[in-house]
Amino acid sequence: MRRMGVIKCFGLLLFFLVTLICSNIDGCEARKGRHWKQKKSSSTSLVRKKGNGKNGGSSNRSGHLSPPPSSDLPGTEYPAPPTAATFDVIDFGANGDGVTDDTKAFEAAWAAACKVEGSTMVVPAQYEFLVGPISFSGPYCQPNIVFQLDGTIIAPTDAKSWSSGLLWWIEFTKLQGITIRGSGIIEGRGSIWWTNTESDVDPINDELGLKLPHLKPTALRFYGSYNVTVTGITIQNSPQCHLKFDNCEAVQVFNMTVNSPGNSPNTDGIHLQNSRDVMIHHTNMSCGDDCISIQTGSSNINIHSVNCGPGHGISIGGLGKDNTKACVSNVTVRDVNILDTMTGVRIKTWQGGSGSVQSVKFSNIRISEVQIPIVIDQFYCDRSSCKNQTSAVALAGIAYENIRGTYTVRPVQFACSDASPCSDISLTGIELEPLQEHYHMCEPFCWQAFGELFTPTIPPIVCLQNGKPSSNRLLSDHDMC
């Protein structure tokens, strides 16, 4: 009898999930009054040309050598490191007027920088560079190149520039040691793409009446690189995801900003996939989707001192789509503020997947006005309904510590799969209060969630089952990661 009741509630929950989580929640988009950072002033007013870059005032600075590093430290006998050359895009013919296509100049500056170890490619302040889809490709480049971005790079908005659809706008690939730094802005001018709804009913056109492709590009993507640093810059208004790392190792992202409206569709902040040893800290993200999205193949991910919101919070997944195997391990998220988002910290997997998510810790998370702060959803589905399947990406060793603040819908939701229950969930110092006390709020929800409460929680989470599930398939070959 009790089980019948539970199943009924569970059906209701699925309905709830489908209508609430899987669709874009209006409530999430309605309140976007507060951003964490002040918006930088509109980039269109940035153009201030210093004479004519190519022929006029500015001297040819490319190939200028920086002063050799001081070698007068007593007792140091090291050979002087190779002197670093700088390559300024203005010297390669870039106009920086925000209108002329500067793609070729960027390609030429890169070709030169690529040949010199430790060189710096310079995108100077106070110019606005219109640059089309571009690849800073590295298999034959020297190591440790710096991309010094102090100006603004803007994306083309005409359909012609995007041909039949591209996955990214600016990419860096196959580099050993690449740093993007500076106070510059990567401006995706994404608003013309955002109205292009998934329903295909209202295809949008550019100024010339040409249709933009349906595939929306990621603004900045790193692929197959080792020792990658992104710091100082702002990436804003991307058509889709802002910053993506795929197949990278030893990645550092800090002191940077992602900024787009809370109602811009699919504009993830930072997306990690097949990447290891990643540090993200002192970074502010406001966007229309996950602030950080951790996908399959990610391990040793360390996130701290980050502000997120508006957006959909920090998420692992969706994993296991289309019966794929997914592996994520050793993720730490600590000292994070999450404000005005759909979910806070979330793990989402599709039915039918395999593999596992293991060793995850969320600690010291300050939550404000979040619809559902703590979520595990093993029934993730971004359509109106998904087929019920038994296999699932297994979840084990998920720790939540000191997660405090206010929610607007439900404090905690653990919806785990029957065939592969969540195990070893630990909760310590959870204090979540409804934003408006008089409202009727949903209770904590658990389904097939096993673990331990180490301290009393607010509200009480009585639905977490103590101990281990009887059938734990985590160690089957199918799921080994």
Ligand X SMILES: *[C@@H]1O[C@H](CO)[C@@H](O)[C@H](O)[C@H]1NC(C)=O
Task: Report the residue number, 133 or 330, with the smaller CB distance to ligand X.
Answer: 330
Contacts to ligand X from residues 299-338, by CB under 6 A: 300, 302, 307, 330, 332
Question: What distance in Å separates the CA atoms of residue 156 and residue 408, rounded to the nearest whole number?
Answer: 39
Shortest reach from residue 388's CB to ligand X, in Å: 4
Piece of 120-128, 255-263, 341-349, 397-405 that binds ligand X (CB under 6 A): 255-263
CB neighbours of residue 70 within 10 Å: 8
| Torsion of Cα atoms, 403 then 404 then 410 then 412, to 10° | 20
Candidate residues 28, 53, 89, 91; the one interacting with ligand X per rule CB under 6 A: 91
Candidate residues 37, 50, 160, 211; the one interacting with ligand X per rule CB under 6 A: 37
232 touches ligand X (CB under 6 A) = yes
CB neighbours of residue 75 within 10 Å: 4
Task: Report the residue number, 235 or 461, with the smaller CB distance to ligand X.
Answer: 235
SS3 464: coil
Task: Report the residue number, 359 or 426, with the smaller CB distance to ligand X.
Answer: 359
Shortest reach from residue 333's CB to ligand X, in Å: 10
Shortest reach from residue 368's CB to ligand X, in Å: 13
| Distance from the Cα of residue 39 to its chain's centroid | 19
Question: What distance in Å separates the CA atoms of residue 473 and residue 355, rounded to the nearest whole number?
Answer: 10
Task: Report the residue number, 55 or 471, with the smaller CB distance to ligand X.
Answer: 55
Piece of 194-202, 251-259, 315-323, 397-405 that binds ligand X (CB under 6 A): 251-259
The structure tokens 């996908």 sit at 295
Task: Report the residue number, 266 or 286, with the smaller CB distance to ligand X.
Answer: 286
Q: Which of 266, 290, 260 is nearest to 167 (CA)?
A: 266
The structure tokens 């009480």 sit at 460
DSSP state letters, 133-150:
SEEEE-TTSPS-EEEEE-
Which of 88, 268, 289, 340 is an active site residue? 289
Question: What distance in Å separates the CA atoms of residue 342 and residue 362, rounded to the nearest whole number?
Answer: 17
Which of 88, 312, 340, 424 is an active site residue? 312
Candidate residues 144, 341, 408, 423; the one interacting with ligand X per rule CB under 6 A: 144
Q: Which residues contact 207 (CB under 8 A, 6 or more apart)?
A: 157, 158
255 touches ligand X (CB under 6 A) = yes
Strand 185-187 with 97-101, pairing: unpaired
Shortest reach from residue 188's CB to ligand X, in Å: 18
Question: What distance in Å separates the CA atoms of residue 351 and residue 124, rounded to the nearest whole number?
Answer: 49
Question: What distance in Å separates the CA atoms of residue 215 and residue 212, rounded to the nearest whole number?
Answer: 8
Question: For this structure, is 312 an active site residue?
Answer: yes
183 touches ligand X (CB under 6 A) = yes
Candidate residues 6, 9, 11, 476; the one interacting with ligand X per rule CB under 6 A: 11
Q: Which residues contact 480 (CB under 8 A, 6 or more apart)?
A: none
Shortest reach from residue 177's CB to ligand X, in Å: 4
179 touches ligand X (CB under 6 A) = yes
Instruction: Give the angle 211-25-322 at the CA atoms, nearest 5°.
Output: 70
Question: For this structure, is 97 an active site residue?
Answer: no
Output the CA torsion sign for 135, 140, 146, 151.
negative
Shortest reach from residue 58's CB to ligand X, in Å: 10
Contacts to ligand X from residues 50-69, by CB under 6 A: 60, 62-63
The structure tokens 């979040």 sit at 370
Task: Report the residue number, 238 or 283, with the smaller CB distance to ligand X.
Answer: 283
Task: Report the residue number, 196 or 296, with the smaller CB distance to ligand X.
Answer: 296
- Residues catalogued as catalytic: 289, 312
Point out which residues bind ligand X (CB under 6 A).
10-11, 14, 36-37, 60, 62-63, 91-92, 144, 177, 179, 183, 227, 232, 255-257, 282, 284, 300, 302, 307, 330, 332, 385, 388
